[in-house]
Chains A and B, each alone.
Chain A
Amino acid sequence: MKKASILLGSLLMLLSFSAFGQTSEKLVSSKTHMKFYSHTAVEDIEANNYASVSTINTETGEVVFSVPMQSFEFEKSQMQKHYNSDKFLDTKEYPKAKLKGKITNLSDVDFTKDGTYSVVVEGDLTIKGKTNAITENGTIDVKGKTVKVQSKFNINLADYGITFAKGKPSTNIAKEVEVTVHSEYSAE
């Protein structure tokens, strides 16, 4: 009887340890900034989003960003309407974009030690229901209990089925758009 309770006790302890381990592996961020920037000779267009959610698994290196597409804000309201419409991002049909990747050089990052680490993230980016493989560079800043991620990369709009054959959009919107990502994490 005593043996059994010791066994049960240690089993429970083990279980609680593993449960604890699982939550402390995951960093969560709802403090994020995402920016689209398009540059052409005619005009520069910018849109900002502060409402994405992101996680980093410090054990596996998995990185996820979930982006609410209607939260992108443009300076001009007409531009924002065009962006949301089914001719462009079709945000009613596809309300969220997602980046799901893995840090390929995870061993270079020490989440317990202050510092700035260069990382490579390999994975899939899904926008408007279309998924493409991407490999992008970024940095991870560790300072005490906060972890910050920064990255800047280009996406080709045609890869996501966003094309403009004629009219103003074809001259005023770049074929390649620069995306800037900034997020701040704390342990869950």
Chain B
Amino acid sequence: MMKKKLFKIAAITALAGLIIGGGAMLYMFNMPHRDIQSAKVDYSLTSTQIVSEYLSDKDAANEKYLAADGDSKVLEVTGIVSKISEDFNNQKVVLLKGNDDKAGVNAVFTAETNTKVLKLKVGETITVKGVIRSGASYDDDLELYENVILEKSDIVQK
């Protein structure tokens, strides 16, 4: 009788453990991507500021802005719209670049935020929130300045 009860308790404990453990694993496995637009802003700056930070010390800037697990800093960048294009994923790309700057910030929008770009005009100043993916630098092989890349972007009303 005692044995039977003990067995029952053990079975229930094991089952509960399995459900909790399995649930946690399933949650981890299917965890959604970080929602950049609802995440808190780590740095607010101008396109000129971040570009000059990168061009003066790339390593220090990478240390500051990039995260080892890819969940890098969320930035709010203000700059002049200097080019509007579209990538192969049908996402709008807005280049924010100061008139005298060697490089700018390429803000890549999403299927959800693309329409916000439609009313933008080259020359106007806007603020964009997004996640940084890579910095600006001069590339000797491309013989070009590469822009900062900001993804999952949306326009911030100021």
Interface residue ranges, A against B (CB under 8 Å): 26, 28, 30-33, 48, 50-51, 53-55, 64, 66, 68-71, 76-78, 80-81, 83-86, 90-92, 95-96, 98, 100, 182, 184
Contacts and interface: CB of A to CB of B under 8 A. Distances in A.
Given A50-B87, A53-B144, A96 B33 contact: no
B149 interface: yes
B66 A70 contact: yes
A33 B89 contact: yes
A12 to B, nearest CB: 24
Interface residues of B, number: 35
B141 A71 contact: no
Contacts of A66: 139, 141-142, 146
Interface string B119-152: 0000000000000011100010111101001010
Contact of A51 (B62, B70, B71, B151): B151
A110 B144 CA distance: 25
Contact of B69 (A28, A69, A85): A85
B88 A31 contact: yes
20 contacts: A31-B87, A32-B88, A33-B89, A51-B108, A51-B134, A51-B151, A53-B139, A55-B143, A64-B141, A68-B133, A70-B66, A70-B134, A71-B133, A76-B29, A77-B34, A90-B68, A95-B62, A95-B66, A95-B134, A184-B88
B19 interface: no
Given A50-B87, A86-B68, A92-B66, A78 B31 contact: yes
B85 interface: yes
A71 B151 contact: yes
B133 to A, nearest CB: 4
Contacts of B86: 31
Top 5 A-B pairs ranked by shortest CB distance?
Answer: A84-B70, A68-B134, A33-B88, A50-B87, A70-B133
A68 B146 CA distance: 10
B91 interface: yes
Contacts of B91: 50
A92 B67 CA distance: 6
B119 to A, nearest CB: 23
Given A28-B144, A64-B141, A78 B29 contact: yes
Contacts of A80: 33, 70
Interface in B22-73: 28-34, 62, 66-72
Nearest to B86: A31
A31 B89 CA distance: 9
A130 to B, nearest CB: 17
Nearest to B87: A50
B153 interface: no
